Homo-oligomer: A and B are copies of this chain.
Amino acid sequence: MTTTLETRLNEVDLGAVGGLVEGITREPAKAHTTWAADVRWTGGFRSEARVRDFAPISSDEPAGLGGADGAPNPVEQLLAALGNCLAVGYAANATVAGIAIQELNIRLDGDIDLRAFLGLAEGHAGFSAIRAVVDLVADADPAAIEALHRRVAQSSPVGHTLTAPIAVSITAA
């Protein structure tokens, strides 16, 4: 029986990230990744999204929108995905910068005009704006914290997917 003492900053495995960076530097095609999810409708406004072998992400709508209110709805899930993505960005970039994170909480909200979804108006049915307020407790000088915030905003995969217009094709099987 062996005991391994690990003292990785922020519990982040920088070695794995470094290995990925080396692999992509040697073979750029490795940077091209594809991600997937499978959604199954289960009645009413309920559905389940399966990702790999994980427990499904359940979805429903509040009663005021005609649902049974059994789970977060899809636009709330989108905010959750953004916050979770920012958390990875803070953990990764703080670790590279040698900053220990003590606490990190992110509050997300965003506005939707329901008229387009309900067929009462043409046009944009999605969020008009999304706000993320980042409460980071970490031992570092203000300039390093400022650089960390900037770096995370500049490199968030979900953040960039939202701020850029993305081609979404919806086709029948």
Residues of A participating in the B interface, judged by any CB pair closer than 8 Å:
10-14, 16-17, 20-21, 24-25, 28, 31-41, 43-45, 47, 49, 51-52, 54, 57, 59, 61, 63-67, 71-92, 101, 103-120, 124-136, 145, 149, 151-173
Tell whether, in the assembled complex, residue B164 and residue A37 are in contact, meaning their CB atoms are under 8 Å apart: no
CB <8 Å contact, A47 and B83? yes
Contact A37 B76 (CB under 8 A): yes
Once bound together, how far apart are the Cα atoms of A165 and B127, in whole Å?
10
- Measured between beta carbons, the chain B residues less than 8 angstroms from A124 are 160, 164
How far apart are the CA atoms of A129 and B156 in the complex, in Å? 16
Indicate if the CB atoms of A20 and B126 lie closer than 8 Å: no
In the complex the two chains form, what is the Cα distance from A151 to B76 in whole Å? 22
Smallest CB gap from A122: residue in B: B154
* Cβ–Cβ < 8 Å partners of A11 in chain B: 43-44
Which residues on the B side are within 8 Å of A149 (C-beta)? 170, 172
Q: Whole-angstrom distance from the CB of A16 to the nearest CB of chain B? A: 4
Residue from A76, A87, A88 having most chain B Cβ neighbours under 10 A: A88
Query: Chain B nearest CB: distance from A47 CB in Å?
Result: 4
Nearest 6 A-B pairs (CB), nearest first? A39-B83, A126-B161, A49-B80, A126-B160, A74-B85, A59-B84
